[in-house]
Amino acid sequence: MAATASSSSALTSSSAHNWQDALLDSIEVGIVVVDADFTVHQFNQFMENHSSVSASEIKGKSLFAYFKEIDRKWLINKCQPVFSMNTPVFVIWEQRQYLFKFGTSRPITSSSDHMYQNITILPIASANGQVDRICILVYDMTDQAMSKERVEKLNEELKVISRVDGLTGLFNRRYWQERFEREFKLTYRNKKPISVLMLDIDHFKKVNDTHGHQAGDRVIQSLAMLIRKATRETDISGRYGGEEFVVLLPDTNTETARVVGERIRLVAERYAVKHEHIEINFTISAGIAEFNSSYTRPLMWLEAADQALYKAKESGRNKVVLAE
């Protein structure tokens, strides 16, 4: 009788063990149980599949011996309150992309080469309340991370598109004005020289009337390209209106701004726009205003450049005029 009772209880315990193992192995979450020395006691199928380390191999060994990518000091620090205070700890992929460097299970559809992971570390307390083991749960968050990254990339692209003029690729008026106002406020504080250049194609209406609107567009695009080439990366160029452009020149006084304006004027004069077997020549007029503290509003400063541009037009065009 005794033998039967004992063998029946062994059967129950063994089948319960198999049942638990089967459960741990069937879920799509990594499960690793370690003690305070980080010796592995449980390592489920998910972990085996993604690491190609078998449970029988790693059990009884140090976790760090098999996963060199784990920042040992960091993990010990994270697990410290789990052991000492019996509280769980969570690490999301936004904080740390992964704990175990696993490849992604979707190498074709995913743009990532590794699995993003959320990590939960749970205390396993013994009967006396002492936490001598912890359970590390590993959740595959690659899909969520990738879709979040896609949305962020798309938002970034939209932001760029919303700032740029479609025809020329320069900043559009709205965004340029935003930058202009920001620089105006900064200049009020740091007092560095800064100039604004406003330029406009001469007799542009005639280009449109003679060669057509498409040819006019080509001229506008060509001038944008010339402006980009003639200015520094740190200069802020924009298309202000139809054939009107603005360039903000940080760290530039009136004299240097005049050199830049003259450079654009000259290259424009020499450039021939090719359109349907014809070549179109054009000139530009420009007005320049260096910032001074009498401009109490950004628009006053821009108006000064606009008035200088008006004078350039009035005095014969193809000229660069400085604001008084």
Q: Which residues bind ligand GTP (CB under 6 A)?
A: 200-205, 208, 213, 216-217, 220, 242-243, 313, 317
Nearest residue (CB) to ligand GTP, 216 versus 238 = 216
H helices within the chain, ranges in order? 2-26, 45-51, 55-58, 63-66, 72-85, 142-163, 173-190, 204-211, 213-230, 254-270, 298-314
Tokens of 294: 């009498």
β-pair type (320-322, 284-290): parallel
Q: How far is the CB of 233 from ligand GTP (least distance, A)?
A: 26
Shortest distance (Å) from residue 228 CB to ligand GTP: 17
Taking the C-alpha atoms of residue 50 and residue 44, their distance in angstroms, rounded to an integer, is 10
Least separation, in Å, of the C-beta of 243 and ligand GTP?
5
Cβ-based nearer residue to ligand GTP, 282 or 301:
282
- Return the number of the residue (177 or 254) whose C-beta is nearest ligand GTP: 177
Minimum CB distance to ligand GTP, residue 319 (Å): 11
246-284 residues labelled b (16+ CB within 10 A) or e (exposed): bbbbeebeeeebbebbebbbbbbeebebebeeeebebeb
Cβ at position 313, least distance to ligand GTP in Å: 5
Q: Which is nearer to ligand GTP, 167 or 266 (CB)?
A: 167
Task: Say what angle helices 213-230 and 254-270 make with each other, to 10 degrees.
Answer: 140
60 vs 241, beta carbon nearer ligand GTP = 241
d(CA 248, CA 226): 15
Which residue number is nearest to ligand GTP in terms of Cβ? 242
In angstroms, the CA 254 to CA 288 distance is 7
- Residue 145 corresponds to which tokens in the numbers above? 């991370």
- Choose among 305, 296, 303: nearest CA to 249: 305
CB of 308 to ligand GTP, least distance (A): 14
**Which residue's CB is nearer to ligand GTP, number 91 or number 199?**
199
Nearer to ligand GTP, 131 or 224 (CB): 224
- Distance, C-alpha 271 to centroid of its chain: 37
The string of DSSP codes covering 234-271 is: TSEEEE-SSSEEEEEEET--HHHHHHHHHHHHHHHHH-
The letter for the amino acid at 226 is: L
Rounded least distance, CB 199 to ligand GTP, Å: 10
- In the complex, the smallest distance separating the C-beta of residue 248 from ligand GTP, rounded to whole angstroms, is 21
- Nearer to ligand GTP among residue 58 and residue 312 (C-beta): 312
If we measure between CA atoms, which residue out of 60, 34, 65, 28 comes closest to residue 47? 28
Closest CB 202 distance from ligand GTP, rounded Å: 4
Nearer to ligand GTP, 200 or 235 (CB): 200
Which residue in the block uniquely carries the two structure tokens 């008084």?
324
Q: Residue 280 corresponds to which tokens in the numbers above? A: 């179109």
